[in-house]
């Protein structure tokens, strides 16, 4: 791995690292915040998954999470949203498909299947690198925004026992039923909609064995609320499955990082309580 950024921040350090990924067959970057407590020993880790069009930079520069991570002694890891590079397939006429829109799944359809395996990268390869290079414990949480909120919910539900906490901002909760998800699933997975269910949080809740409490914040002025996000479907799925959910509709907030920055402290406190 190669460190390409390092900045002092709230008594710790915000870093960006680059490495060759065997899972994605390309160079990848991720941000890692090391709180001041990491200088004295291993700390729990919170993984953050960003949304459409984002890179590792959006969260580390806009969310203001480092302040709270320093208070709670949490390592923050923020990967890129998808594989990158000139030989990685892309959809140049669509900002919501291809590079910047990996959807945190394992693609099975060409030409995407060689590189677009973000689920395995986030679940297996990235934590192995983080644990080998940084002072971390085995306690992990996962969170994200929009497409990344979808990724956080799905990854937690698909991997019981791996994470101790999960939360999301404005997640795509039922991608099989909304335009963003259907476009991505058709491209990456093919037209067999039965296969889509394993990447849909509302579908996965039906058979979830683990009852990891979900914390979800959603702005009621979000421009994508009714067309793409549909938190009502998550509420219905959790009620039907008896799954614990705290869904907070925040008046006046939109889909931006102004919204995330306003409530990120609550989310880090939620994770810290579970991870410690």
DSSP 85: S
Other Cβ atoms less than 10 A from the Cβ of 10: the count is 17
Please state, in angstroms and as integers, the Cα–Cα distance from residue 82 to each residue in 107, 191, 208, 260, following that order.
12, 22, 27, 21
Return d(Cα 6, Cα 65) in angstroms, integer. 16
DSSP 229: I
- Our answer to whether residue 146 is catalytic in this structure is yes
Residue in 222, 243, 270, 271 annotated catalytic:
222
Residue in 146, 165, 167, 170 annotated catalytic:
146
Tokens for 112? 């995407």
- Our answer to whether residue 255 is catalytic in this structure is yes
Residue in 145, 255, 270, 271 annotated catalytic:
255
Residues 190-207, buried b or exposed e (16+ Cβ, 10 A)? eeeeeebeebbbbbbbee
Q: Which residues contact 93 (CB under 8 A, 6 or more apart)?
A: none
- Our answer to whether residue 243 is catalytic in this structure is no
Q: How far is CA 107 from the centre of its chain?
A: 17
The catalytic residues are 146, 222, 255
């Amino acid at each position: 791995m190669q460190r390409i950024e390092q900045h002092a921040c709230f008594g710790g350090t915000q870093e960006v690292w680059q490495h060759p990924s065997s899972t994605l067959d390309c160079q990848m970057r991720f941000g890692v915040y090391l709180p001041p407590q990491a200088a004295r020993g291993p700390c729990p880790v919170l993984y953050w998954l960003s949304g459409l069009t984002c890179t590792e930079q959006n969260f580390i520069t806009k969310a203001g999470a480092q302040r709270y991570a320093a208070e709670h002694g949490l390592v923050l890891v923020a990967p890129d949203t998808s594989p990158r590079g000139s030989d990685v397939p892309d959809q140049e006429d669509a900002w919501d498909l291809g590079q910047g829109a990996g959807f945190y799944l394992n693609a099975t359809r060409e030409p995407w299947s060689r590189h677009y395996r973000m689920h395995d990268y986030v679940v297996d390869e990235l934590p192995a690198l983080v644990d080998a290079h940084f002072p971390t414990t085995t306690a992990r949480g996962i969170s994200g925004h929009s497409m990344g909120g979808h990724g956080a919910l799905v990854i937690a539900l698909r991997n019981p026992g791996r994470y101790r906490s999960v939360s999301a901002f404005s997640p795509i909760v039922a991608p099989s039923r909304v335009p963003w998800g259907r476009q991505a699933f058709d491209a990456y997975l093919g037209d067999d909609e039965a296969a889509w269910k394993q990447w849909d949080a509302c579908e996965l809740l039906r058979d979830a064995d683990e009852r990891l409490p979900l914390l979800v914040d959603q702005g009621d002025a979000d421009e994508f609320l009714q067309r793409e996000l549909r938190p009502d479907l998550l509420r219905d799925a959790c009620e039907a499955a008896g799954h614990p959910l705290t869904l907070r509709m925040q008046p006046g907030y939109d889909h931006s990082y102004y919204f995330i920055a306003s409530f990120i402290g609550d989310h880090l406190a939620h994770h810290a309580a579970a991870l410690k």
